[in-house]
Every structure is written in structure tokens, then in C-alpha cells.
Structure 1
Amino acid sequence: MVDDYLAGLSVGYLAQMYGVHRATVSKHLTRNNVVRRQSGLTVDEAAEAVKLHHSGISMREIARSLGVDRKQVRRSLVTAGALAYSRA
């Protein structure tokens, strides 16, 4: 799990992959003294998400291709003005 995280997979993806809760993944990483990445997309990933969104790719597919949670993709699209903010 540590190696997968260090290879770039997200906590959410690892939780799904290993069939455990996100908190379990986080605790495992903490016990192994793994420095956690900042949540959210990098500037380059956010730009790629916007580009993919404008080409008609779904947020779910964008999230899969970037190895992040769909909510992070949505947050980045809203921040970039590529998607309207809505609480619904």
C-alpha cells in the first residue's frame, strides 16, 4: 500500500483497491511515516482536467485518468471557471 501511494495513487483509490476505508489507508501511511501529499490537483493536473472537460470527457473518467477523486476534479473545474458552482 505504501509503495502504491508513493507511486502516485490517491488514498481514495487505494481504499477502493484494497477494500478498506480511507481512514485505514491514512493510518497505515502514518504508521509507516509516509509524508502525505497535498490534497487536490496540481496546477498541471487541473489544466489537464479543464482540457479534458472541454473535450467532453466526464468528470468520472477524468478522475480515473488522473488517479484522483471525482470531487477533486469537480473542485478544480469550478475553481478554473470551467464548471458552475452548485450545491445540488
Structure 2
Amino acid sequence: MSSDAFELLVFFFMCIWMISTIYEQIKTGINDYHKSKEKIEKRNNELARQREMEKRKILEELRAKDLYRKLYRQIGIDPDTDSSPNK
């Protein structure tokens, strides 16, 4: 085998090795991207659940305040001034 043929063979195998290395890096990068995307989606879903729970809590508090206001009015007390009609 001549020296030129040997160098060509070495070059050919180096090209194959380099292409396979680049392919593995691209594949790893794509997998990392998908994992990061899943983490972000999971975190966004968790934040959305937390916001929904806070929203429900606030609505419950507002409903409770409204109920107390209605009850005060029924017994003759103005809930805005806390003054009774007997004064």
C-alpha cells in the first residue's frame, strides 16, 4: 500500500469519526433542549396551579366578606360605618 493510499484511508476514517462526533453532540443538544423544555413546562404548570389556588382563596375571602356584609345589613348594622340604627 502506498503512502498516499494510507493517508487517504486515515483521512477517510478521521472524517467518519468527526462526523459521528458532531452527530452525537447534536443529538445530545437536542435531548438537553427537550429536557429543558419539559422542565419549563412543568414549572409553568406549577405556577399556574399556584395562581389558580391564590385566585380561589381570594374569591372565597371576598365571598365571605360579602356574606358578612349581608348579615350585618339583615340585623340592621351598616357594615361600611359599623354604626347600628339604635344609636
More helix by share: 2
State the TM-score, normalizing by the size of structure 1. 0.19
State the TM-score, normalizing by the size of structure 2. 0.19
Q: Which has the higher contact order (CA 8 A, sep 6+)?
A: 1
Structure of greater Rg: 2
